[in-house]
Structures are given as structure tokens and as C-alpha cells.
Structure 1
Amino acid sequence: MSKEAPTIVCAPDSFKGSAGAPEAAAALARGARQVFPDSRITDLPFADGGEGTLDALLAVWGTPARSVDVVDALGRLTSAQFGISADGRTAVIEAAQANGLPQVSDVALAPERADTYGVGLIAGHVLDQGVEEILLCIGGSASTDGGAGIASALGAAFTDSSGSPISPGGGGLAALASVDVSGLDPRALAVRWRIAVDVDNPLTGPDGAAAVFGPQKGADSASVSVLDSGLAHLAEVLAGSPADASTLAATPGFGAAGGIPLALTTLLDAEVVPGSTMVAEAVGLSEALAGADIVLTGEGSFDSQSLGGKVVAAVRDCAPASARVIVVAGHVALTPAECREAGITAALSIAPGPAGLDELSERAEELIEATAAHACALMVAGEDLAGFGARPDARAADLADARAAEFAGARAADAEGN
């Protein structure tokens, strides 16, 4: 690495509730520029396919958000945003724009009624734009209907034994007798669908959509049972055989967002992919990081879960082996040794000292910038120390480990003395 003018890429997730990914990336870049004013520094807002993905992709694509009138999870009129890539070929939809919990927070939660019909209306409008691929981000949903609402909005007919449409939401799935796809929009079948999923929960059972995520959508034990049975029945109708239905119900990831992957994979041949992988391809992460000397990434809380398919893990995996990967976060829960073992050069918290969450949130961009400047200054110091015979990142981590052990020993001595 040339310490005079290293190539730097700033690729953070959002700091939820404090700074969006575009704002966090800009703050990291400002901090890096304080130390390396002559460097080529690239902002690359990133996301893991959940909340904030729309903003991150729009920032990288350089295109504005578009709006469309749809309905929320309870069928009430609302407005939703979506994005189209600069070349017009790819669309990104955040399902929660239509069926998210915040959209229905003004009334009592209705877990058996909530559906995904509004998400299908966004998709229909996106198809009108002539796109070739739809990236569907499905976190934060209020519904548990297995994606039946989306397919219904696109022309599929979900009917009971009398041929009448079933009631909307997961509570209506028990009455389902057949699914007629003759009216399905042919453009929905022609386009490529990719669904961003960051959980591995199956569709049904104790680890399924209803049991695990239903309570946060307002489902009590009785509603959880209704929703779980409804999803199992939907799988049976769509699969055509008990064996195939069991396979669908046990598929990892199908429990995400109330089972949305179920209808979309079986009816629209959608692909279920890790969210960070999907976004990495959409923003060209590997290409952007190819020549980086320093990679600054981050998120609100950096812990063991961050290393399992989240933004930091994706950035680390795509960074060159020679690059220094620095994590800037609101809270850092990993030790220096754990970071080193995970391929992270260092992780720094933005907290300048004892501070409440409100204070950190208010000053998030300022603190992200300052922490990035500190990190880059330490990189310069580390390069200067390389002559002492240790890798700069290893030397810093070893010193931190020693300080941590020293502190733990002092705490133990105090405890024995008391």
C-alpha cells in the first residue's frame, strides 16, 4: 500500500435510524480525505437486501426514486417508491413500501388479514417500465400470506371450492382449493425475479414464518396456528403432491417475510438469493474493490452476525487479500482477535466516550467521519511501524489483545479483593 495516496473504497451499510448508507459512505469518504487528500476515494453505499437497499442502489445507479399509488397490507391506499437502474433493465422493490409494519402501525395489527397485494401492484407498475429483472427486497413485512397477494395482483386467481376468490391474507389460505395462472401477466413470467433473503427459516413448523415472525406482526398463539396451517395448505395446492409440498415447506429461506418466496418461486420461477450477494452484483462490488488498498465499511452494530451474510462479510469477501478492511460501527462487539480471525484489520466504534443512543444518532455522520479519519491516521502510523518487524494490523491487534487481558486481570484482582 502506498501511504501517500492509497486507493480507498467506502462501502458501508446504513446505520439504522441514524444515517443511511449513502450518508454513511459520504462521511467515511470525508474522514479518509482528511488524511489522504490526494487519494482516489470511492463512495459505494451498500446493503444486505433489507431496509435501506432501495436508497443504496439508487445512490450507486444515480437515478431518482419513482412513486406509484398502491395499497398497504390492509388494503388501504398508500404511495410506494421503487427504483430503476440507469440502463432501464433492472428494478428494485422494497416490499415493505407496501406491506411493511410501519404502514399499518396506526391501527391494530391484523396478522390474518394482512397481505402482499400492494407489493404485486408495485411489480405490475415496474413491468410497465419494460424492465428485464426485478430485485425484490422483502424484510419488514406485516403479512404472512405466502406471496399469494403478489401473485393475485399479477393476475393469478386463488379460489375456494365454489370458485370464489379466497379472503385476503394468510387467514384465507385454509379455504384455497385451486390456483388458476391462465390470467397471470405474461411479462411477470418473462422477467427474471431475484428475492433477497437473509434468514434461513423454513416455511412452516416451529422455526417457520408464522411461529418465528408472526408474533411481531400481532399474531397470538391461535393466529400463529391459523397462519402456519394456511401456509402448509398453500404449499400443498401449489406443489400438487404431499412430497413436493413437504420439500417446499422445509426449504431454508422460504419462511422469510411471511413466506413470500413460496408463491413467487413456484409460479414465477423466482430465485432466492442472499441479500448481500444480490446487492453486490447489482452495484458491481467486486469490480469496485478490485484495486483498493483500504476498504472502509460499517454498520450500526458490528457483532458475530455481521460475519454471516451481512454487508461487512460481503465487503470483506470481495476485497483484495492485500487490502486493509476497516469496520466503523456504532457498537463493536468483537475482540481484536476475533476481527483478525475473520479477516478484518480493525473495528472502531464511533462512540467518543460514554454516550446515549440519541446523542450518537444525532451526531452519527460527524462521528463516522471523525472515526474514519482516526482509522486512516492509524494506517499511516502502522505503515511507519512496519520496520519493527510486525504487520501493522497484527501489531495493533496484539497490543489491543494485551490491553484487554490486562484490564480483565485487573477486574479479577479487584473482585478477589472485594
Structure 2
Amino acid sequence: MKVLIAIDSFKGSISSIDGSKAISLGIKDVDPDIEIVTLPLADGGEGTVEALVQATEGQFVKREVIGPLHEKVDAVYGILGDKKTAVIEVAAACGLPLVPSNKRNPFVTTTYGVGELICDAIEKGCRDFVIGLGGSATNDAGVGMLQALGFKFLNQYNEEIGWGGKELQNIHKIDVADIHPELQACTFKVACDVNNPLYGPTGAAYIFGPQKGATAEMIKELDQGLENFAQIVLDELGMDIHNIAGAGAAGGLGAAFAGFLHASLQSGIQLILDLIAMEEKIQGADFVITGEGRLDGQTSMGKAPLGVAQLAHKHHIPVIALAGGISEDTSTLNKLGITSYFSIMNAPMSLEEAMDSKITFDNLRLTTKQLFRLIRAVR
């Protein structure tokens, strides 16, 4: 028997890699001879670097960069096994966890560190990039990142603007004379699972600003800055970055990647599945095991387990999904490729206990062991 394990992390509890180990042990407890293929998963958000480095036998790179509050932070990105593809989670350089809750202020937070990571990867020979958007503390439309890559944004006095979302309304001119010389040789694939435009009622500031510390008055000003930036880009460079689907992702980083770096914005899970050659490795599998921390209606909107299930369904392979929590609307997943799903919770417990990594590990192992005892008996 061959079993392919492809689970996302159980956010805040256990990583995709450790969760996969627990499931593997549960299977081996029943039958040590079962062939197991493990593919750690992510959907473009947290855990993407770790999953792709592990799946491709790549390497991690640590680099000191300018963080969201203009202070130095250590950020980690990955170089995949092909030695030419870098994978970067923008949150590593400008994420919300890097900003204490009492200091969250998208007027000042910058994406400059993301550009520094790209430059570092270019210097190490990478020309292909996989970018995971999400979790940013910023609303600067990626201008900070572009500044690190050599783009200059000038105010009415022909001086370079500073960092942060508040500076966008001061942009009057764009200078592209000194951009990084290797950028034209680079390709960018960006995992982006939102369709928000850059500004307006459904744009970056109004939809994502509050979680980044923006007040109602700040949101109005940030939105005006985004609109000003989009208009200057249209006038100076002839690019409409506002109406790109996903332009408003990660505080407008989607617009910067798609417009200035000609990136392809695509479904996070589909991008990851392609990169780890999931369709090739699923061949011959008798079962696929997937899962994440919570299975619910959002899972059917394109998250990792559904992407795995749809691919397995294409090849007529049964799919078992494991999760910490399961909601009432999870049954819709049975119609979308997941054969059956199970909660790993085996007793009443507090949220703190449920999030404990050791408890999660043990529960994943135990649940898998019991499932495969049943499978062995039936077969």
C-alpha cells in the first residue's frame, strides 16, 4: 500500500512537517511496510518557505533587513533545490508578528525589507521567485520594497519620499533610472488568494487596514495615498495597477509585484502543488491524507486541503482529511473531493491544551493509527 501525506500546518499548534511525522508514525504503528510519501504543504501563507524547502531539499537563508518599524530584524527565506528559485514570505520582513500590538501603525510601517530579501537572493544567483503574500503589517503599496530595488519616488520638491503608507500621498514622480540591473531577468510568481483592488471600499486600506492598527481617519488618508500612487503610476508609466485582481493584497504589495515586477498573481495552493510536483508524486497512491487546524466553509474556498483533494479526485484516489476542529458546514467538502474527514480531538480540553504541539502530535498519531487499523481490517 502507498499513502501520500500532504497536510498544511495546524496554525499556532504544529508545523506541516511535524504533523506529517505524527501521521507517518500512526501508519507505521499499524504496518511498517506501508510506503509513505510526505509532502509538507502550505497555501502561500505562513509555512510556505518551510514546506517548499523541505519538499525540494533546498536551504534556508537568514538575512538582516529593515523591519516594518524601520529597525533591523532577522528574516529567513528559502532557496529551492534547483538553486535558482527563491521563496519568500513577505511576513518574514514586514509581518504583523514583528510589530507589538501597541505600535501597529500603517502610516509608518514599510515593506523595505522584502526588497532587501529579493536583492540578497539575486546576489546568490536566483532569478525565479515564489512570493507568499499575507500577514503584512503594512499599507505602503509595496513602495518600500520597490525603494530597496532601486525605484525612486519623488515629492513635489524632487526629493525622495520616506517610508510608510502616509508617504504615498506625497508621490509626484517616479524615477526608474537606478533600478536593480538584474530585475529584468527575474520572474515572480505570487501566491495571492484575494481579489481586492488597490483602493476604494474594497481596497487594501478599508478591508485590511483595521487589523494593522489603522483608525477610521487613518484609513481615509491611507486610501487617498493609494489612489494618488495609482494615478501617478498610470500617468508616468502607463500602468493601471488599481484594477489588477489582488492589487490590494498585503497592503498593496500585490499591485507592486504585478505592476512593477510583472508578477503572475495566482492561487496559492495551486502554485505550491505545481512546485512540489504533487501530480507526479500522487501516482500509484492508495490513499491521500490531508488536513489543517480547522476544516470549515473557508476550506472550500481554495485552501490547501481542497487543492489536494481535487487533485486526488482527478486520479480516483480516496482522501482522508484530519483537523483539530470541524464545523457544521464541513460536509460540503465531501462533494468536492474529500472522501471522509475526522477531528483528532479525543476528549474535552481547553483551547490552550488543544493548541499544545505535543498533544496535537499525539492526537494525530493516535487518530491515524485507529483509521489504519480499520483500513487494514477491511482490506
TM-score range, shorter chain: over 0.9
Matched AA of 1:224: I
Shift of 1:241: 8.2
Whether 1:366 aligns to 2:362 is yes
Q: Counterparts of 2:43 and 2:176 in 1: how far apart (Å)?
A: 32
Q: Counterparts of 2:375 and 2:200 in 1: how far apart (Å)?
A: 49
Secondary structure at 2:54 match in 1: helix
Q: Following superposition of structure 1 onto structure 2, how do residues 407-418 of structure 1 map, counting pairs within 5 Å?
A: none
Counterpart for residue 245 of structure 2: 252
Q: Following superposition of structure 1 onto structure 2, how do residues 373-412 of structure 1 map, counting pairs within 5 Å?
A: 373-381=369-377, 383=378
Deviation by residue 1:291-324 (Cα, 9 ceiling, x = unmatched) = 2110001100001111221101110122153211
Instruction: Give the gaps of 5 or more residues in structure 1.
Output: 1-5, 385-418
Deviation by residue 1:335-384 (Cα, 9 ceiling, x = unmatched) = 67533212211111110021122212220111111112222233345x45
Q: Counterparts of 1:91 and 1:176 in 2: how far apart (Å)?
A: 31
8 Å Cα contact 1:328/1:349 also seen in 2: yes
Q: Counterparts of 1:45 and 1:109 in 2: how far apart (Å)?
A: 32
Secondary structure at 1:281 match in 2: helix
Partner of residue 210 from structure 2, selected from 205, 215, 238: 215
8 Å Cα contact 1:12/1:298 also seen in 2: yes
Q: Counterparts of 1:329 and 1:372 in 2: how far apart (Å)?
A: 11
Q: Counterparts of 2:4 and 2:216 in 1: how far apart (Å)?
A: 48
Partner of residue 340 from structure 1, selected from 317, 334, 338: 334
Shift of 1:107: 5.2
The alpha-carbon distance between structure 1 residues 57 and 306, as it changes in their structure 2 partners (threshold 3 A), is: same
Counterpart for residue 301 of structure 1: 294
8 Å Cα contact 1:63/1:83 also seen in 2: yes
**More displaced, 357-366 or 125-134?**
357-366
Deviation by residue 1:29-50 (Cα, 9 ceiling, x = unmatched) = 1112223321110111000000
TM-score under structure 1 length normalisation: 0.86
Partner of residue 286 from structure 1, selected from 271, 279, 282: 279
Secondary structure at 1:295 match in 2: strand
Shift of 1:226: 1.1
Partner of residue 268 from structure 2, selected from 261, 275, 280: 275
8 Å Cα contact 1:92/1:134 also seen in 2: yes
Whether 1:321 aligns to 2:321 is no
The alpha-carbon distance between structure 1 residues 133 and 334, as it changes in their structure 2 partners (threshold 3 A), is: farther
Whether 1:153 aligns to 2:148 is yes
Shift of 1:254: 1.3
Q: Counterparts of 1:112 and 1:261 in 2: how far apart (Å)?
A: 18
Shift of 1:118: 0.8
Secondary structure at 1:65 match in 2: strand
Matched AA of 2:140: D
Whether 1:13 aligns to 2:28 is no
Q: Which runs of 4+ in 1 moved over 4 A?
A: 241-244, 334-337
Secondary structure at 2:87 match in 1: strand
Over the matched positions of the two proteins, sequence identity in percent amounts to: 35
Counterpart for residue 64 of structure 2: 69
Secondary structure at 2:353 match in 1: helix
Matched AA of 1:144: N
The alpha-carbon distance between structure 1 residues 117 and 348, as it changes in their structure 2 partners (threshold 3 A), is: same
Q: Counterparts of 1:305 and 1:380 in 2: how far apart (Å)?
A: 32
Whether 1:98 aligns to 2:93 is yes
The alpha-carbon distance between structure 1 residues 18 and 321, as it changes in their structure 2 partners (threshold 3 A), is: same
Secondary structure at 1:16 match in 2: coil
Partner of residue 201 from structure 1, selected from 192, 196, 207: 196
Q: Counterparts of 1:309 and 1:241 in 2: how far apart (Å)?
A: 36
8 Å Cα contact 2:297/2:329 also seen in 1: no
Counterpart for residue 349 of structure 1: 343
Q: Counterparts of 1:40 and 1:196 in 2: how far apart (Å)?
A: 31
Q: Counterparts of 2:231 and 2:76 in 1: how far apart (Å)?
A: 34
Partner of residue 126 from structure 1, selected from 118, 121, 125: 121
8 Å Cα contact 1:111/1:142 also seen in 2: yes
Counterpart for residue 31 of structure 2: 36
Q: Counterparts of 1:20 and 1:26 in 2: how far apart (Å)?
A: 10
Matched AA of 2:355: S
Matched AA of 1:88: K
8 Å Cα contact 2:144/2:163 also seen in 1: yes
Instruction: Give the gaps of 5 or more residues in structure 2.
Output: none
8 Å Cα contact 2:306/2:337 also seen in 1: no
Q: Counterparts of 1:369 and 1:201 in 2: how far apart (Å)?
A: 40
Shift of 1:110: 1.9
The alpha-carbon distance between structure 1 residues 335 and 164, as it changes in their structure 2 partners (threshold 3 A), is: closer
Greater Rg by CA: 1
Deviation by residue 1:164-196 (Cα, 9 ceiling, x = unmatched) = 011211110111011111111121221111111
Matched AA of 2:248: G
Q: Counterparts of 2:202 and 2:329 in 1: how far apart (Å)?
A: 31
Q: Counterparts of 1:244 and 1:79 in 2: how far apart (Å)?
A: 34
Secondary structure at 1:58 match in 2: helix
Secondary structure at 1:326 match in 2: strand
Secondary structure at 2:349 match in 1: coil
The alpha-carbon distance between structure 1 residues 180 and 309, as it changes in their structure 2 partners (threshold 3 A), is: same
Secondary structure at 2:319 match in 1: strand
8 Å Cα contact 2:269/2:303 also seen in 1: yes
Q: Counterparts of 1:206 and 1:128 in 2: how far apart (Å)?
A: 40
Shift of 1:205: 1.5
Q: Counterparts of 1:289 and 1:227 in 2: how far apart (Å)?
A: 46
Q: Counterparts of 2:371 and 2:328 in 1: how far apart (Å)?
A: 17
Partner of residue 79 from structure 2, selected from 76, 80, 84: 84
Counterpart for residue 163 of structure 1: 158
The alpha-carbon distance between structure 1 residues 161 and 337, as it changes in their structure 2 partners (threshold 3 A), is: closer
Secondary structure at 2:214 match in 1: coil
Matched AA of 1:21: S
